[in-house]
A and B are shown apart, each in its own frame.
Chain A
Amino acid sequence: MNDILIRNGRVIDPASGLDECADVAIAKGRISRVGKAQAKAKHVIDAHGLVVCPGLIDLHVHCREPGHEEEETIATASAAAVAGGFTTILAMPNTHPPQDNETSIHYVLQRAREAALARVLPVGCITKGQEGKNLAELGLMTQAGAVAFTDDGLGVASASLMQRALQYSGMLSMPLMQHCQDPDLMTGVMNSGAVAVRLGLGGIAASGEQIMLRRDLELVERTGGHYHVQHVSSAGSVELLRQARQKGLDVSAEATPHHLLLTEAACSTYDPNYKMNPPLRSAADVDALRQGVLDGTIDCLATDHAPHSKEEKELEFALAPFGIIGLDCAVGLYAKALIETQLMDWPLMIARMTTGPAKVICNSKPELGRLTVGGIADVTIIDPQADWTVDVSAFASRARNCPYDGWRLPARAVVTIVDGQVKHSLLT
């Protein structure tokens, strides 16, 4: 007998092209059937009117553990993930100390097992101590279970070091994720332009992102290896990526909810909840990013969930840290940016949250992001007409730095199943 039967949902599996009303059965942590099943199960979920899809994957989450457990822990980030419909999250390595060796990778996996909520996959630093000077032990971290490498928060400034990192990660068949920002041009706290000038705040020009991206694409052309661009923020970067794909380079890219929804104008009140790195840019950039997600230039959606304490976000704009949280309400935010705007329908948006990110980590985790009979039973159920109001105080995340409080969103994850176990459910 099956453990779980999800009946009558709109089953969307971008990997196989499936989009039809069907049932999904789960037994012993595996998908046992997809289609019309007269099967029996211990636990039946009526998914009429709901979307049933592979478990969502978020390539970009800051869990803050070890080092800043007062902001978030692996357990609370996992809780926020499953509350938001994510079955897999990648834990960024800019912790204290940074995740730059096999022991720290083991530690993340251990804490994730104890939390037993989402699948938390560790990402290792590219450079030791995230200092941008010497390569970290990419090989040993791969053996320990790291699924990608990045110095996120900082771009790798040295071109020669980046070249070596690409060669090395290419040998390991591991993706290298870059936070594209030339440090020499990191001269401000918000997008460079008329709004920054009026507010008297230092600007961060899109050229700082594009210069590093251009350089890296030159390197990738020479070295090969999988290169992934984190949180793309500018129209110019989207165009560079489009050209790189046309050349056939092995590149992937992600866009965040805030870069798909908000512009620099939001900074006008000096509210640090609109302070991001890369910064919120112009409406034209938002449009270009949405088009990039539509045509596949940007093949992944990722939250860049970045918890910070209340006191840090009460500081003056320039002193407050960058970043906001996003896991709990991401599905609704993406739907607001991409579906409510009639840019795309659910299958494409779900592809950007399942097959897209799964492809980035496919060499270490080949089974994720699909509904395959016999495959891992990571399943997310979404109410596409939830029409709910965000209440940040009710988030599972420990942090509250989120500008979407009080927003009405068109969709919401209602059930999250990881390894065949229901980890989150809003259904009675």
Chain B
Amino acid sequence: MAKKASSSSRATDGPRLVWTRKDLLGLDDLGPEEIVHILDTAESFKEVSTRSIKKVPLLRGKVVALLFFEASTRTRMSFELAASRLSADTVQFTSSGSSVAKGETTLDTVRNIEAMGVDIFVIRHHQSGACHMLSRNVKASIVNAGDGQHEHPTQALLDIFTIRQRLKRVEGLKVAIVGDIAHSRVARSNILGLKKLGAEVVVVGPPTLVPATIEKMGCTISHNLDDVLGHVDVINMLRIQFERLGGNLFPSIREYSRLYGMNAQRLEQCKPNVLIMHPGPINRGVEITSEVADGPNSCILQQVTNGLAIRMAVLYLVSQV
């Protein structure tokens, strides 16, 4: 097969893509070459984290506001570290104890913080489309750090980056995403990004957690995890959200774990080099057992490490527009 513009090699030969986007709202908007450009840019930032002085002056004098209207540990810390390694100043915000608790609208909150002179907003919000609404109304860059059940673009970028790193390619791979697809922004961004780079995606879960029309996004559906295990190169296990139990979306954690949990027996049915991923936080023993999560096929901590480079790349790129 002729060598295509390989996503695993740095795109240093040929004309570099000129980044034109002020915002990163989702992977839905991006072309494949833009996604590869972010991955390649992240590649060059990876090395910064290995230095004894982990800092470059690319965003010196810029202000990055981290507005997490919804709780987050790793994404917020990852963005914060990414911003500080680029020498940006950061301001923080959590919605409890802020004026949001007093009834201020999201738009007013962001407009007020923008008035203090912010260059980039990193937004996590419980409402789908919140970043789109903000990008229409503020001048600063908006980076989506997860909006409701819509997209989580940097998570998908770091997942794809990790796949590329471990399996040396993305195109032609078969990727299973398992779990609560209906409510997962990680699933949506992964489906979009992986499809754009030429991978095949199958989503796995019961029909109450996997809407039939998700096929319109270019993936296929399976309700039986055991059917797909032997055919895929990557398995991305989503966290099951216990709060969904009340909505009768599945009968019990116990049953879910038996039908859709990843364990050692299931791992044996997989290809030997299958890559096991999880966006975290993990419910050990529910969607994934410890021996799989901590085993050689797992890349869960590598995902977290790579997240930093991806977020440095994204902050850097949007700041250049």
Interface residues of A (CB under 8 A from B): 193-194, 196-201, 269-270, 311, 314-319
Most B CB contacts (10 A, CB to CB) among A311, A315, A316 go to A316
Query: Is B216 engaged at the interface, CB distance under 8 Å to the other chain?
Result: yes
List 3 A-B pairs, minimum CB-CB distance, nearest first. A270-B129, A200-B150, A200-B149
- Bound-state CA distance A194–B132 (Å) is 19
Query: Is B147 engaged at the interface, CB distance under 8 Å to the other chain?
Result: yes
Give min CB distance, A240 to chain B, whole Å: 23
Residue of A nearest to B69 (CB): A316
B129 touches A201 (CB 8 A): yes
Against A, the Cβ 8 Å flags (1 = close, 0 = not) of B86-129 are 00000000000000000001110000000000000000010111
B125 touches A316 (CB 8 A): yes
Contacts of B107 in A (CB 8 A): 314-315
Known: A199-B128, A314-B105. A194 touches B216 (CB 8 A): yes
Query: Is B301 engaged at the interface, CB distance under 8 Å to the other chain?
Result: no
- Contacting B105 at CB < 8 Å: which of A194, A311, A317? A311
A201 touches B217 (CB 8 A): no
Query: Is B185 engaged at the interface, CB distance under 8 Å to the other chain?
Result: yes
Give min CB distance, B136 to chain A, whole Å: 8
- Bound-state CA distance A33–B26 (Å) is 64
B217 touches A198 (CB 8 A): yes
Contacts of B129 in A (CB 8 A): 199-201, 270, 316-318
Query: Is B77 engaged at the interface, CB distance under 8 Å to the other chain?
Result: no
Contacts of A199 in B (CB 8 A): 128-129, 150
Against A, the Cβ 8 Å flags (1 = close, 0 = not) of B268-299 are 00000000000000000000000000000000
B185 touches A200 (CB 8 A): yes
Query: Is B188 engaged at the interface, CB distance under 8 Å to the other chain?
Result: yes
Known: A200-B147, A200-B185. A319 touches B127 (CB 8 A): yes
Contacts of B188 in A (CB 8 A): 198, 200
B133 touches A318 (CB 8 A): no
Known: A199-B150, A200-B149. A317 touches B214 (CB 8 A): no
B128 touches A197 (CB 8 A): no
Contacts of A194 in B (CB 8 A): 213-214, 216-217
A201 touches B137 (CB 8 A): no
Residue of B nearest to A267 (CB): B129
Contacts of A318 in B (CB 8 A): 127-129, 148
Known: A269-B132, A270-B128, A318-B127. A197 touches B213 (CB 8 A): yes
Query: Is B43 engaged at the interface, CB distance under 8 Å to the other chain?
Result: no
Contacts of B125 in A (CB 8 A): 316
Residue of A nearest to B107 (CB): A314
Contacts of B132 in A (CB 8 A): 269-270
| Residues B125-162 near A (CB distance < 8 A) | 125, 127-130, 132-133, 137, 147-151
Contacts of A201 in B (CB 8 A): 128-129, 148-150
A315 touches B105 (CB 8 A): yes
A198 touches B216 (CB 8 A): yes
Give min CB distance, A350 to chain B, whole Å: 39
Residue of B nearest to A270 (CB): B129
Instruction: Please give the number of chain B residues whose Cβ is less than 8 angstroms from any Cβ of chain A in the complex.
Output: 25
A197 touches B151 (CB 8 A): no
- Bound-state CA distance A66–B153 (Å) is 46
Give min CB distance, A312 to chain B, whole Å: 10
Contacts of B127 in A (CB 8 A): 316-319
Give min CB distance, A67 to chain B, whole Å: 20
Contacts of B148 in A (CB 8 A): 200-201, 318
B28 touches A198 (CB 8 A): yes
Contacts of A197 in B (CB 8 A): 182, 211, 213-214, 216-217
Contacts of B217 in A (CB 8 A): 194, 197-198
- A/B interface sample: 27 pairs, CB < 8 A: A194-B213, A194-B217, A197-B182, A199-B150, A200-B147, A200-B149, A200-B185, A200-B188, A201-B128, A201-B129, A201-B150, A270-B128, A270-B129, A311-B105, A314-B133, A315-B105, A316-B106, A316-B127, A316-B129, A316-B130, A316-B133, A317-B127, A317-B128, A317-B133, A318-B127, A318-B129, A318-B148
Give min CB distance, A322 to chain B, whole Å: 16
- Bound-state CA distance A314–B217 (Å) is 28
Give min CB distance, A137 to chain B, whole Å: 37
Contacts of A311 in B (CB 8 A): 105
Give min CB distance, A189 to chain B, whole Å: 9
- Contacting A270 at CB < 8 Å: which of B105, B133, B149? B133
- Bound-state CA distance A198–B217 (Å) is 7
B106 touches A193 (CB 8 A): no
Residue of A nearest to B125 (CB): A316
Give min CB distance, A276 to chain B, whole Å: 16
Contacts of B137 in A (CB 8 A): 314
Contacts of A316 in B (CB 8 A): 106, 125, 127-130, 133
Give min CB distance, B264 to chain A, whole Å: 33
Give min CB distance, B30 to chain A, whole Å: 15
- Bound-state CA distance A194–B211 (Å) is 9
Residue of A nearest to B213 (CB): A194
Residue of B nearest to A193 (CB): B213
Residue of A nearest to B187 (CB): A200
Give min CB distance, A206 to chain B, whole Å: 13
Contacts of A314 in B (CB 8 A): 105, 107, 133, 137
Residue of B nearest to A187 (CB): B247
Most A CB contacts (10 A, CB to CB) among B105, B129, B214, B217 go to B129
Give min CB distance, B180 to chain A, whole Å: 12
- Bound-state CA distance A298–B188 (Å) is 39
- Bound-state CA distance A242–B213 (Å) is 29
Residue of B nearest to A318 (CB): B127
- Bound-state CA distance A135–B298 (Å) is 62
Contacts of B151 in A (CB 8 A): 200
- Bound-state CA distance A197–B216 (Å) is 9
- Bound-state CA distance A373–B308 (Å) is 80
- Bound-state CA distance A314–B148 (Å) is 17
- Bound-state CA distance A208–B236 (Å) is 34
Give min CB distance, B123 to chain A, whole Å: 11
- Bound-state CA distance A310–B149 (Å) is 26
- Bound-state CA distance A316–B125 (Å) is 10
| Residues B56-73 near A (CB distance < 8 A) | none
Residue of B nearest to A272 (CB): B133
Contacts of A200 in B (CB 8 A): 128-129, 147-151, 185, 188
Give min CB distance, B215 to chain A, whole Å: 8
Contacts of B133 in A (CB 8 A): 270, 314-317
Residue of A nearest to B147 (CB): A200
Against A, the Cβ 8 Å flags (1 = close, 0 = not) of B180-192 are 0010010010000
Add 15 more A-B contacts to A198-B188, A200-B150, A318-B148 (CB < 8 A): A196-B213, A198-B28, A198-B216, A200-B147, A200-B151, A200-B188, A270-B132, A311-B105, A314-B105, A314-B133, A314-B137, A315-B106, A315-B133, A316-B128, A316-B133
